[in-house]
Structure 1
Amino acid sequence: MANRPQNLLLLDLAALLMRAAEAGVVMLSSLAMVILSGDRLGPDLSNYQNATLVGVIFYAGLAEVTGAYDVDVRFTLRQAWRRVITSWLATTTFLLTLSFLFKASEQYSRGWAIGWAIFAAGGLCLTRALMVIWMTRLKRRGVFNQRVAIFGAGAQGQRVARYIQDHPKLTITLVGFYDDRTPDRLPAREIDLPFLGAMNDLTAAIRAGGIDQVIVALPWLAEARLQKVAASLAVTPVRIRLAPDLASFAFAHRPLVMLGDLPALTLFERPLSGFDQVTKRWEDVILGAFILVLLSPVMLACALAVKLDSPGPIFFRQWREGFNNSRFRIWKFRSMRVEAAQPDGQINQAKRDDDRVTRVGRLLRRTSLDELPQLFNVLSGEMSLVGPRPHAPTTRAGERMFHEIIDTYAARHNVKPGITGWAQVSGWRGETETEEKLLKRLEHDLHYIENWSLSLDIYILIKTAATQFFSKMAH
């Protein structure tokens, strides 16, 4: 295949055919319902013709906007169906709204409208499935693939090649490596691709029509070398791309933004900024106050039980690490004997059947009722209802402190800690006596921070109320 010319228009022509086929489905579905409805539609069908034309035009435009024909969905059925159905549902909603606003709904048959909506939806899904299957088969034969050469056979070039090989949706066939260094100066290749020569060999292959695109994979620090390579390739009639530097691969999934004309990768966004931050605070204040009032009789009963069960204070306060690594004192119902209290610098997590826990304390911890006073921390702004659970600064997993095990442990402090969290409702609650449990908890905490939404908080609160009061992991 490397010796036969590639038609770079084939992929665009196939996509154009896909657009035409789906527009035809929308039109033919309406026509089919007109035929099936017979005389019930009346002799004048101009209204139905106009509605069909508007529907076809609107669907075609909306499908473009939603990315229904983007390269990444031309070979993936699930994503394609989602965008196609979204476009068609929006189209039917638009048509219904239009008919309502112009008071024209009485001019159309409900049976025709419902049938058109259903037939078109089914036809669009079937058509897209057939097109995806057809295009996927052609892609496997290399019909759509561009022949790509990588200039740079070092570690960076090999990583680019590995990335392309691991992503079969890309319409790329790798031809091989080129490099201006001799083979004896190159590192051992871990990728099964041939080394085809230096710059002269690359330009000769391009002139012969055997290459459609070149990816330059050289260290960005070698500026003079990059400019020399770019100047040599600039006179050839193929697409030239510059691969990311080695360090950039670690952040390849991060979004690219423009600072004027300067592209920049967004490594980390400030979580819960702007309106999201205000929304979460109001959630904490309103729901926190409501829950506090609702559960005040339960809290009063817990306080009385703690006082009667063992001598000592009702509440237990201890330092925790919160937002931006700042420390605050957390409120809890006392669940351990006073003489078993530990200094803040020598914290040992409670274990199953821990003899330091009182009789009432064991019930409070098992039902998580000992956490209810943290509503005071929420209302004072030190905590949230939902967030990563706050840990004592000197808590350990095994023999090491948390921050010694994971370099990114402090990232969980980018938001306020919570009474409950995504890790807790996902089963990672209780003692973290092993490093693996800590890693899993941190993984869930970071997932929550990166994917926060009000609906996610409500889901976590509901699941906490339904299941966590009787968790077997609490002790």
Structure 2
Amino acid sequence: MTFEPQQRLDTNAMRGSLNDHARAVAASLSTEAISPRLLAGAIQVIEAIALLLIGGLSWLASSQGMATLGWGEAMLVIAAPAIAILGIRWIGGYAVAALRNYLPILSRILIGWGLTIAIVAAGSFFFELETDGRRAWLGIMFLLGAAFFILERVTVSALVERWTKAGRLERRAVIVGGGELAAELLTALGDPTSTDVRICGLFDDRSGDRSPEEVAGVPKLGTVSELVEFARLARIDLLIVTLPMSAESRVLQLLKQLWVLPVDIRISALGNKLRFTPRSYSYLGPVPLIDLFDRPIAGWNSLLKRAFDIVFATLALILLSPVMLITAILIRLGSPGPVLFRQKRYGFNNEVIDVLKFRSMYHHMRDPSAKIAVTKGDPRVTPIGRFIRRTSIDELPQLVNVLRGDLSLVGPRPHAVNAHTENRLWDQVVDGYFARHKVKPGVTGWAQINGWRGEVDTPEKIRRRVEFDLQYIERWSVPFDLYILMMTPFSLINAENAY
């Protein structure tokens, strides 16, 4: 489904439009939630590593040392965790309900672990592996593994219970639309504790009998225009649209408003007469959903990107520290004032962050709000400032922002909150401008290595920047980030628009 995104309202204006009730609910949900999918994945990794260590320790306890562990036996030690994890996944042992209430699932896990040991024993016999009669290895591995599962599942259960009561372990969802279709959806979902999704409220432009103030105990919090700001403040994960697919124009109108949010967007297929193949649907409990948009760089991908940022930002800080030290000394000698400069810029999800830069202007002429764009020959820029701006050395302190988690190494560049062209803010110049904030901004980016850096004095330049930013979000991968990092030094050769 394709469409042209509509123009967004200014963020401050949107904040003013959010009603008091919705703002209070959003404030109660402002803490960062723990992704159930990420938790399940983390538990699987922990159990796999623990079972691998248990296999090695069991062999060590029943033999003369690890030197006696041959390739065949090593393969069995590695296979045991893989078989066990797959079995636990098959019986639903990583669902939030299973992690919260360990008693119903623990006996099945222990039976599965026993079957795993039996499979390993059968494998050693089938492949005629020589174990010198040390069958105690399998017995020790079973006992240690069983003890681990009991202690681990009891501990995880206590933690999950605590996080659930604190409202942290959940996917936060909002229903877009009200009335009968929303009531049907809520009825079909049934017990709220049966899934990891929490329905936080309803948003609908209609009023009166067509959209009452409460549906099945879920309050209506405002209109769709208010939802955009609410979703950001409340850290919403999922939007469920309860409009019929036949209302195509209304659905497209909604998506034009909502696609800029870093959330999953789904349409409820309950009662939909138009049927697709089963693979076209995802499910929330028994409710079929049609997937429209997915949050970019989510789950394990977000952890992978964060690890990438920490490793490479640390290396960059070490390697570039002489350059940064010399730059700081030259700035200090060149003009009075602090070495570093802080500027308010848009970060992930439209949050305002403080971005660090080397000071390139005379201190008494500084412009922290970026009301006046720097132009060629700008008298506010110091001599050393001209050089570090043209070479982007002034951006190097942002590596600290990366380690703090405000920025990523690669992503859409963070723009100043008052950045404008021809007396218009950039979100007024470019349709769907805020969609570039669905991921963390970066020290460098796809737009920059394609020549779109420096002065933005025409609407076309900012449009092209945003176009490349959105391309990056769609194409993201670790190799893509590596490519952009490698090409960044070469892109600095072209300093035509960097003043």
Give the shorter-chain TM-score range: 0.3 to 0.5
Query: Highest CA radius of gyration, 1 or 2?
Result: 1
Q: TM-score, normalised by structure 1?
A: 0.45
TM superposition score normalised by structure 2: 0.43
The structure, 1 or 2, with the larger RCO (C-alpha pairs under 8 Å, 6+ apart) is 2
